[in-house]
Amino acid sequence: MTDTTSLKVTPSKPSLLFRIWDHELCYSFRNSPLTVAAAVVTLLLILAAVFAGVIAPHNPYDLASIDLMDSELPPVWVEDGDPRFLLGTDNLGRDIYSTILYGMRISLLVGFASVVFSAVIGISAGLVAGYVGGKVDAVIMRIADIQLSFPTILIALLIDGIMRGILDREQHDAMIIPVLVLSIGISNWVQYARTVRGSTLVERNKEYVQAARIIGLHPILIMIKHVLPNVMGPVLVIATLGLAFAILTEATLSFLGVGMPPTEPSLGTLIQIGNDFLFSGVWWIAIFPGMTLAILVLAVNLLGDWLRDALNPKLR
């Protein structure tokens, strides 16, 4: 009998870095220039917001440094522009560029915080509903269904309204950021819950979960160890797209006057302020924050879209 051992030499295992680079995900990322651009833009904007304190030439919250005489100056490249204020100033004399940086910081903060909030509520609800089942499941899903039939903006507005009723004006304004996070967070938990619940239901019936229960492992450990890894992909997609949506919602609420006040403006507030001045030709107060907002949300959306397509096994 001939020796049938393999004649090939096993190559040495490629390094971890190479394996990551070569992974499906990275490949699809590298191959889509749009996505790479989106990621770069998002990263830049986030960094700019985080380091706003360092980068911004002025501090828009420091009332002492603002001079009303400087108000409504155009961007530096237009006649009458002032090199101190690259993108011009608003009606109070604040530097638009700096205010955009600080405003973006708030937008991102509220965005991330509300996504985390939604995710925590949603994932917990989904886990509980899927694992415990029965009445608890029915109740949670019923609440989810009811909430789902209402547009998020409405729910966010409603919760804000309720908070205004509970707190008096001063308290409300002082706590505006947590209130916003709460409003937007509550309005968005359902998608997480549904996805996680579905996954939990699938896993719950598998043998190793049953086995773990018999051994006496705590159900929470079981859930965390087995369900969460499976569900991280879709949750990440929901979170990324949810971030874009949260930023938009915060901007909308601020624009409508129920979000960040003009003293601590987010991008939405700036646009609202600028809206009044558009017709008199003072366009920079609204346009620059508007562009920033649009680019930020677009970039995050692109990332989320790519993530969804990349993680979708069916499309490969």
Partner 1 sequence: MSKHLLEVRNLRIDFPTRKGILTAIDDVSFHIDEGEVLGVVGESGAGKSLTGAAIIGLLEPPGRISGGEIVMNGRRIDNLEYEEMRKIRGREIGAIFQDPLTSLNPLYTVGRQLTETIMTHTDMTPTKARERAIELLTEVGIPAPETRVDQYPHQFSGGMRQRVVIALALCVNPKLVVADEPTTALDVSIQAQIIALLKKLCREHGTAVMLVTHDMGVIAETADRVAVMYAGRIAEIGPVRQVVKQAKHPYTEGLMGSIPMIGHTDEKLRQIEGSMPRLTSIPTGCAFNQRCPKAFDRCFKERPDTIAVDGTEVACWLYDKEAAHV
Partner 2 sequence: MVAFILRRLAQSILVMLVVSLVAFFMFQFLGDPVNQMVGIDTPEAEREALRERLGLNDPLIIRFGKFVVNAAQLEFGLSYQHKSPVTDLLLERLPATIELSVVSAIIAFALALPAGVYTGLYRNRWSSKAMLTLSLVGISVPTFLIGILFIYLFAVVLGWLPSYGRGDVVTLPGGWTTGLLTVSGLKAIVLPALTLGLFTLTLIMRLIRAEMLEVLRTDYIKFARARGLTNRAVNFGHALKNTMVPVITVTGLLLGNLIAFAIITESVFQWPGMGRLFLQSIQEVDLPVMSAYLVMISFLFVVLNLIVDILYYVVDPRLRVEGHGGGH
Binding mask 13-52 for partner 1 (x = CB under 8 A): --------------x-------------------------
HSE (side-chain half, CA atoms, 13 Å) at 248: 16
Please give the Cα distance from 291 to 184 (Å, whole number): 23
Q: Which does 290 bind (CB under 5 to 8 A by kind): partner 2, partner 1, none?
A: partner 2
Binding mask 114-153 for partner 2 (x = CB under 8 A): --------------------------------x--xxx-x
Q: Is 243 in the site for partner 2 (CB under 8 A)?
A: no
CA torsion angle 244 61 181 294 (round to 10): -10
Per CB under 8 A, the list member of 28, 91, 230, 252 interacting with partner 2 is 252
Q: Which does 27 bind (CB under 5 to 8 A by kind): partner 2, partner 1, none?
A: partner 1
Per CB under 8 A, the list member of 56, 66, 285, 302 interacting with partner 2 is 302
Q: Which of the stretches 12-20, 133-141, 185-193, 283-291 binds partner 2 when contact is defined by CB under 8 A? A: 283-291
The residue among 175 and 256 lying less far from partner 2, judged by its C-beta, is 256
Q: Which of the stretches 59-67, 107-115, 183-191, 287-295 binds partner 2 when contact is defined by CB under 8 A? A: 287-295
Please give the Cα distance from 291 to 87 (Å, whole number): 12
Q: Is 175 in the site for partner 2 (CB under 8 A)?
A: no
Q: Is 10 in the site for partner 1 (CB under 8 A)?
A: no
Q: Which residues from 21-80 bind partner 2, rule CB under 8 A?
A: 34
Q: Is 270 in the site for partner 2 (CB under 8 A)?
A: no
The residue among 5 and 280 lying less far from partner 1, judged by its C-beta, is 5
Q: Is 7 in the site for partner 1 (CB under 8 A)?
A: yes
The residue among 73 and 273 lying less far from partner 2, judged by its C-beta, is 273
Cβ burial, residue 173 (10 Å; 0-12/13-18/19+)? middle
Contact residues for partner 2 (CB under 8 A)? Answer: 34, 146, 149-151, 153-154, 157-158, 160-162, 164-166, 244, 248, 251-252, 255-258, 268, 271, 275, 278-279, 283, 286, 290, 293-294, 297-298, 301-302, 305, 314
Task: Enumerate binding residues for partner 1 (CB under 8 A).
Answer: 1-2, 4, 6-7, 27
